[in-house]
Chains A and B, each alone.
Chain A
Amino acid sequence: MINVKELLEELKASPYELIDIVAPHTGVVEFAVKEPGLKVTGAHGAYREKPGTLIATLERERNKKPIRATLTGVVECFEAGLAGRFVEAGTKLATIRHYLTSKEVVDLILKKALFLFPAPERAKYYFIPEIDKKMRASGKNAVEVRDGMELLIMSRMKRETSLPYKGPDGKIYAVYFKLGENVDSGHPLIGVCPGDQLPLVQDVVNRVRSEWEEHE
């Protein structure tokens, strides 16, 4: 059993994360942000159709691409010295101080309560097509997993192998990998909520809702 109260206190002590905004590829940077301290938002709206705050632009091959805030927060700092210069892929452009939302707090705590199915190898992972379709159509919670069930495909060294799920039966509660990104071996791929854990999950959700104050 996990101590929800303790975890909550811990998080309350430092209720934010620092998130680096990096250049997704090479190009010439121009900053839209003028000084640190600017409040920014990530994509929002009922369908996330409203884009996040513009941090910078990155121009490559005459294609000026917006670099936007991915989350709500405050610009902690940005690399003003890079303005107008060609940067390599992965160069840090800015840092955002993001205050955790109650949903994120729930996720963080749940990560300790859920069964985490780990990546056996460093590789790229994706769901088998049927599962993927189902998730897209009705959300990740719609997928019930059973021990031995065909769930994921592991892709590495140009080879694809199917990866059956091993662990308790339950519902997928969280997905921790992104399409096309490598996952290190041992890192969790999905979080599964076994049937008997449901009351606990509910408890976490309720407590965070009542106790967590969102930072504006």
Chain B
Amino acid sequence: MELDNRIRKLQDRLSYIRDIFGDKENANIALLQARLDEFLTQERGMSLADQMRHMAQLEDLFLFLEKKLDAQLTPMDRVRIVRHPARLCLKDILENVYDNYTEIGGQDEYSIDPSMLIARAYITRRVGKRVINQPVMVIGQEKGHGQEFRNGGSVKPWGNAKALHYMKVAETENIPIHSYVFTPGSYPIEDYPGAAQQIAKNLFEMASLRVPFVSVISEGGSGGAEAIALSDMRLMLSHGYYSVISPEGAAAIEAKTRQGERVAPELIAKCARQLKITAADNLAMGYVDKVIDEPPLGARVDHYDFYKTLRNEMIKATNQVILQVKGMKLFRSLALSERLARKGQAVDAEEVFVSWNLSSKARENLVWKRHQKFRRLAQTAYMDTRTFGEKVVGRFQGLAWAMNSYFRYEFLRKHQRKIKRLQEELEAEVHLVRNKVGKPIRAVMDKFAGGRPQTVSEEAKTSLTQLSKWDDKGGLSNGKWVYTSPKAKEDRTVTCPNAETHGCLDLWAPDLFGEYAGVCGYCGHHFTMEYQWYLHNVFDQGSIFEFNGQIESGNPLGYEGFDERVAEAKKKTGLKSACMTFESRIENLNLVVAMLVAPFRGGTVGAAEGEKFVRAVERARRKHYPLLAYVHGTAGIRIQEGTNGVIQMPRCTMAVQRYIADGGLYLVLYDTNSYAGPVASFLGCSPYQFSIRSANIGFAGPGVIKETTGVDIPPDYHQAHQALSRGHIQGIWDRREARKNITQALLTMGGRNLYYR
């Protein structure tokens, strides 16, 4: 009986190995198979003792070869490991790493989103004579060993909303958060609160969450992972992956396949390799802080030793985060290292007690540390062609602006307020006196004047025909635009896509792209326009001053063939990256603008774009200017930069969070297709997002939605009006009125200084 069990186990292990290595031929696997078959055929003829002996040998062989195979794992094999139903799940972790837990708001499929699991858990241990109970909030995706209703850990927007809710609860309770990332990516659905917008909200809130936050990544699929992973300490399981996109998705994009077509497995494997998605890669790039070693070929449900390791690591990581910000840091860390030195081996975290309660000041410190941590990331993933001198000058200038702003807005304000109040009171007094004295006289005058018509003098009559005063407003309206699109230079006509339903006649291109600014004169459909149109027709003439132009997009992963493609984009557009940052004026109001430009590789965001965005936000903060993110178009994170791109989601969002918390006014304006990562982070988190009528806004495009969910979506699924109906954006503007509306937004939302406080 026992032997049967052991045989079955070996058979399971072998079939697992086969699953992991896919269709690849491998001598070691063949050997295992042969030896197992041999044992099975010879088994009957052997004595029990022989059987046991052979069995033990066979098990040893398995152990030996599994180790050997582990060294041969390719990135794609690792993808298969984390997706395997035998892979450990969050429930297993809750049961084995923690001492007690209660699941919050879910009982298998009875949950608002069974793929997101929340639990209040305890770590209980005895240190010396004391029994210590340390509560944590555990948040993570549950794949449920292939349970269908878990959706493979692909979380719907409301699942992420629940996660955010309990992060805030943990903040109130002042307990640490442990998050476990087991997701291939978020479920691409736009229903409120919206896949992208909810992730953006999560990132925004996590940026200032005032409790220690440790996250562990097993399967880290892009935005879905970020939704619960903006943490103080990011651990990664050694056999996991953390990537901007699934290798299949990347391959589909590379091969430019259409919906439903299959991509060659070789290309998928190649993409997996190129994207640098393994734990070791991410550790090297600095996007995770530590890798936790798993048993050979990955941790599965019954690897009980691994749970102990994990528990140890979680306690240690939490302690570390806390010690970083707690007083007496030096003493504590000294204590830790002393033990380390004495034993000459890994310290057992179980034996170290650090209180997980933080004072208010320490909590503030924690948030500041988190900001700094992310600010420092990805600094080598873009090209900066400035000279050393220029960089130094740039740094000093920033400091000078910050000082200037401090005096203008902080110091002087306090005193000014007093003077102002005095002045207002005085004015009110004067007004009152004047009214009291003036009233009777005016009443008499009115009596004389009213009733019968006044006679009109010749002079008055002439003036009557010249009633209104003309103020010749030059320039931008009446279809006379400063910039004319090159599309307006061809003698041809264009058919409006709404022609069938709205009866629009064909439009003459010079009219349509010239005077009409790309708006159908019959139905108001907005054709897309070049970003230059906005640069020249929205902002004050000659007021654009670009900065950080020398920060250039590169190829940080050394992705094959990508150097040429970036060079080509630079040549085609004359830009150095998809993000142009500049200072400008609208109706003489200063503002900082970060613009994502669609023609440069689809307006995708990589390390250079992220860095430029962060710097633009910082500049706006230092100078106390409002900030406009003008999204001419963005297709998402630039996949060829891998996690160098993904990490821009938390980085940029944190910068924005700090700016807004500081009192900044952050406006977002979408123009054409705006999708994925950027919308799911630093764009989607703005309280004031507007859209030109031409925009499509969403998390994933129609192809990806069909691929991942199997659902056909209506053609207008992402159209701006739908986004407005779903509550994702705050308003829709006519392109021709963009300038007027931005001014209006600045004045009504920005208040006196175009900056809240």
Contacts and interface: CB of A to CB of B under 8 A. Distances in A.
Interface of A: 45-47, 49, 60-63, 65, 179-180
B506 interface: yes
B493 A61 contact: yes
Contacts of A180: 503
Contacts of B492: 61-63
Contact of B714 (A47, A63, A65): A47
27 contacts: A45-B712, A46-B712, A46-B714, A47-B712, A47-B714, A47-B715, A49-B714, A49-B715, A60-B493, A60-B506, A61-B491, A61-B492, A61-B493, A61-B506, A61-B508, A62-B490, A62-B491, A62-B492, A62-B493, A63-B492, A63-B493, A63-B494, A63-B495, A63-B506, A65-B495, A179-B503, A180-B503
A46 to B, nearest CB: 5
Nearest to A180: B503
Contacts of B714: 46-47, 49
Interface in B686-738: 712, 714-715
A47 B713 CA distance: 8
B13 to A, nearest CB: 46
A65 B714 CA distance: 24
Contacts of B712: 45-47
Contacts of B494: 63
Contacts of B491: 61-62
Q: Summarize A's interface: helix, strand, loop or mixed.
A: loop
Interface in B489-514: 490-495, 503, 506, 508
Nearest to A25: B506
B527 to A, nearest CB: 14
Contacts of A63: 492-495, 506
Contacts of A60: 493, 506
B11 to A, nearest CB: 46
A63 B512 CA distance: 14
Contacts of A62: 490-493
Nearest to A179: B503
Interface residues of B, number: 12
A92 B714 CA distance: 33
Task: Please name the 8 residue pairs, one residue from A and one from B, whose CB atoms are nearest each other, closest first.
Answer: A62-B492, A61-B493, A63-B493, A47-B714, A49-B715, A46-B712, A180-B503, A47-B715
Given A62-B490, A63-B492, 20 more contacts: A45-B712, A46-B712, A46-B714, A47-B712, A47-B714, A47-B715, A49-B714, A60-B493, A60-B506, A61-B491, A61-B493, A61-B506, A61-B508, A62-B491, A62-B492, A62-B493, A63-B494, A63-B506, A179-B503, A180-B503
A49 B500 CA distance: 13
Interface string B35-57: 00000000000000000000000
A45 B715 CA distance: 11
A179 B491 CA distance: 30
Contacts of B490: 62
A132 B445 CA distance: 55
B504 to A, nearest CB: 11
Interface string B364-388: 0000000000000000000000000
A191 to B, nearest CB: 22
A152 B185 CA distance: 50
Contacts of B493: 60-63
Nearest to B714: A47
A133 to B, nearest CB: 14
A180 B490 CA distance: 30
Interface string B506-530: 1010000000000000000000000
A40 B464 CA distance: 69
Contacts of A47: 712, 714-715
B718 to A, nearest CB: 13
A65 B505 CA distance: 12
Nearest to A43: B500
B674 to A, nearest CB: 21
Nearest to B716: A47
Contacts of B506: 60-61, 63
Nearest to A65: B495
Contacts of B495: 63, 65
Nearest to A46: B712
Nearest to B503: A180
A65 B491 CA distance: 16
Interface string B472-495: 000000000000000000111111
A62 B490 CA distance: 10
A60 B494 CA distance: 10
Contacts of A179: 503
A47 B706 CA distance: 14
B258 to A, nearest CB: 13
A180 B499 CA distance: 12
B182 to A, nearest CB: 33
Nearest to B508: A61
A61 B712 CA distance: 36
A60 B506 CA distance: 10
A70 B492 CA distance: 26
Most chain B CB within 10 A, of A45, A62, A180, is at: A62
Contacts of B503: 179-180
Nearest to A178: B503
Interface string B334-373: 0000000000000000000000000000000000000000
Contacts of A46: 712, 714
A62 B495 CA distance: 11
Nearest to B501: A179
Nearest to B494: A63
A34 to B, nearest CB: 25
Interface string B229-255: 000000000000000000000000000
A60 to B, nearest CB: 7
B491 to A, nearest CB: 7
A60 B492 CA distance: 9
B709 to A, nearest CB: 14
Interface string B297-326: 000000000000000000000000000000
Nearest to B712: A46
